[in-house]
Structure 1
Amino acid sequence: NPDPTIAEMELECLERINKDGKGPMGLGGRTTALDVKILKMDTHTAGLPVGVVIQCWADRHATARLEDN
């Protein structure tokens, strides 16, 4: 982020998220998040949007076929 205050907040959030040890899909590990983005825009307090994306839907679903050979 070009705003140094927000860039510092992004880095702090990323460090705190990765410090908890949850890892990918909550299975443990050192890296839970790859990046944090904070966007700033003027709005009424009733319209403060928050978006959190945890893993991609496609990565949480799998198909397997078991066959007896």
Structure 2
Amino acid sequence: INTTGIGPMGLGGQTTCLAVHMDYAHRHPASLPMAIAVQCWAARQSAAEISADGKVQYLHHKIKE
């Protein structure tokens, strides 16, 4: 990833990545999704699971309802 030249904040440079986090999931054999999130360490992220009945469960933080 560092050889792409994307650099910090996507503005170009030698160091694009300080860490790599990988996960896996079931997928269709014809697809291999991949993503690079270009942002500084302060970028905020969240994840949630939405069930079939519409219930939302946040995985990274608590939200007061």
User: TM-score range, shorter-chain basis?
Assistant: 0.3 to 0.5
**Would you tell me which structure has more helix in proportion to its own residues?**
1
Structure having the higher strand fraction is 2
Please, what TM-score do these two structures have when normalized by structure 2?
0.38
Please tell me whether Structure 1 or Structure 2 has the larger radius of gyration of its CA atoms.
1
More relative contact order, 1 or 2 (CA 8 Å, 6+ apart): 1
Which TM-score applies when normalising by structure 1? 0.37
